[in-house]
Structure 1
Amino acid sequence: MASIVQFENVGLRYGTGAETLSDVSFTLNTGSFYFLTGPSGAGKTSLLKLLYLSQRPSRGLIRLFGEDAVTMPRARLPALRRRIGVVFQDFRLVPHLSAYDNVALPLRIGGYEEREIETPVNEMLAWVGLKDRASARPATLSGGEQQRVAIARAVIGRPEILVADEPTGNVDPDMAARLLHLFDGLNKLGTTIVVATHDIHLLSRIPHANMMRIDRGRLSDPTGALRYPPRRSEMGGSE
């Protein structure tokens, strides 16, 4: 399979402190599913920020969709970001918009007409169990409901890459299984999926997924090819 993401000797440093990520190298293949695991503070969220272009590395090469994302002019980055769906750990919903309008936002930004938006948005809200909460604003939703709106918004446009940071952290086990089924279905349509999680039980639900483990800012398997189930010694602590 062709690669969609390439990291070569990537380092990330915030300010003048020690590197948060060091010599990170891996390749993600188009249409594959990856779990990113590791203990709290290992660098998972920092790695995801580089993947969805929220942060630029301190050193090294990052190629996305065959393009150099490090030296690319900033004016071109928004177009690249629109090809990536992101589920943030803190949701980042637009507070003055309803659940419906938050989910519809990527389609509106993409230039879709309102008549093209209504059906897919309503179907997505129904899929995540929020059909009856379409008009609710984020402040009136529970944490789990906000999480589901954030996931619906991330996947509504069928992104080429979906990056999810602890996407099942605020939902019950049944909804977690349903959301993973949604990710798996999106993956089978061709989207490359990267899910950061500390919940090792999720790994068994996507048996064809690869696993990458990060610890102290370094990948323990630079090829990104570890398969589930990993050895117990590879799992380490929880988030």
Structure 2
Amino acid sequence: MSAIVQFENVGLRYGLDRETLSDVSFSLASGGFYFLTGASGAGKTSLLKLLYLAQRPSRGVIRLFGEDVVTLPRKRLPGFRRRIGVVFQDFRLVPHLSAYDNIALPLRVAGMKEDEVDAPVAEMLNWVGLGDRGDARPATLSGGEQQRVAIARAVIGRPEILVADEPTGNVDADMARRLLTLFEALNRLGTTVVVATHDLPLMAQVSGAQMMKLDKGRLADPTGTLRYPPRARADQDGGEGA
């Protein structure tokens, strides 16, 4: 598989502080599934910001979709960002929009006709267990419900890259597994998935996933295939669809 993401000796510094990320180099294969781990403060969120183009590095080269995005003209950045789905740790839902309209937002921005929006949004609301909450505004939803809306919004457009920062941190174990199954289904359709998480049992459930570990702003371990229990393979082979 060709590389969809390439980092070469990337460093990131905020202001005059010491580097948050130092000499980070890796490649992500198109269609791969990756977990990003590391202690709190290791730089996971900063690395994800570079991936979804919310931050430019202080040094080094980043290529997405075969192009150097560090030198990319700002007018081209929105087009690249539309190819990347993001699940933020703090949700970032639009407060005055309903759950339905938050999820529909990427489709409308992409220019989908309004009569084509309803079916995929309704399907996604049902998938994340919020079929009866489409009219609810974020302030009336629990943290777990807001997280599910945020995930539905990120995946509804079938992005080429999905970046998720602790996506199961506000849901119970059953919903965490259901959401992970959704990510796996999207991955099987060709989306490259990058999930930052501390949940080691969750990581072990994805067959063939790769793990990257950050330690004080540096990649500590080479990427390696995760082990997974026999039950996880059975679940995947006969599991739910999206």
| TM-superposed deviation, 1:229 | 3.5
- Deviation string 1:65-124 (CA, Å, 9 cap, x unpaired) is 001100001111000000000000000000000000000000000000111100000000
| TM-superposed deviation, 1:227 | 1.7
Counterpart residue number, 1:105: 105
Q: Distance in 2 between matches of 1:182 and 1:69?
A: 29
Indicate the RMSD between aligned Cα atoms, in angstroms. 0.9
Tell me the amino acid that sits aligned with residue 109 of structure 2.
I
After superposition, where does 1:43-54 map in structure 2 within 5 Å?
43-54=43-54
Counterpart residue number, 1:236: none
Q: Distance in 2 between matches of 1:173 and 1:60?
A: 39
| TM-superposed deviation, 1:220 | 1.4
Number of aligned residue pairs: give it: 228
- SS of the aligned residue for 1:193 comes to strand
Tell me the amino acid that sits aligned with residue 26 of structure 2.
F
| TM-superposed deviation, 1:228 | 1.3
Structure 2 length normalisation: TM-score?
0.93
| TM-superposed deviation, 1:204 | 1.2
- Deviation string 1:167-221 (CA, Å, 9 cap, x unpaired) is 0000000000000000000000000000000111111110210000001000013
After superposition, where does 1:1-239 map in structure 2 within 5 Å?
1-222=1-222, 225-229=223-227
Q: Which gives a bigger RCO, structure 1 or 2 (Cα 8 Å, sep 6+)?
A: 1
Tell me the amino acid that sits aligned with residue 202 of structure 1.
L
Structure 1 length normalisation: TM-score?
0.94
Tell me the amino acid that sits aligned with residue 4 of structure 2.
I
Give the 4+ runs in structure 1 shifted more than 3 A: none
- SS of the aligned residue for 1:86 comes to strand
Q: Distance in 2 between matches of 1:229 and 1:127?
A: 28
- SS of the aligned residue for 1:131 comes to coil
- SS of the aligned residue for 1:19 comes to coil
Q: Distance in 1 between matches of 2:25 and 2:180?
A: 27
- Deviation string 1:19-75 (CA, Å, 9 cap, x unpaired) is 000000000000000000000000000000000000000000000000110000111
Tell me the amino acid that sits aligned with residue 98 of structure 2.
S
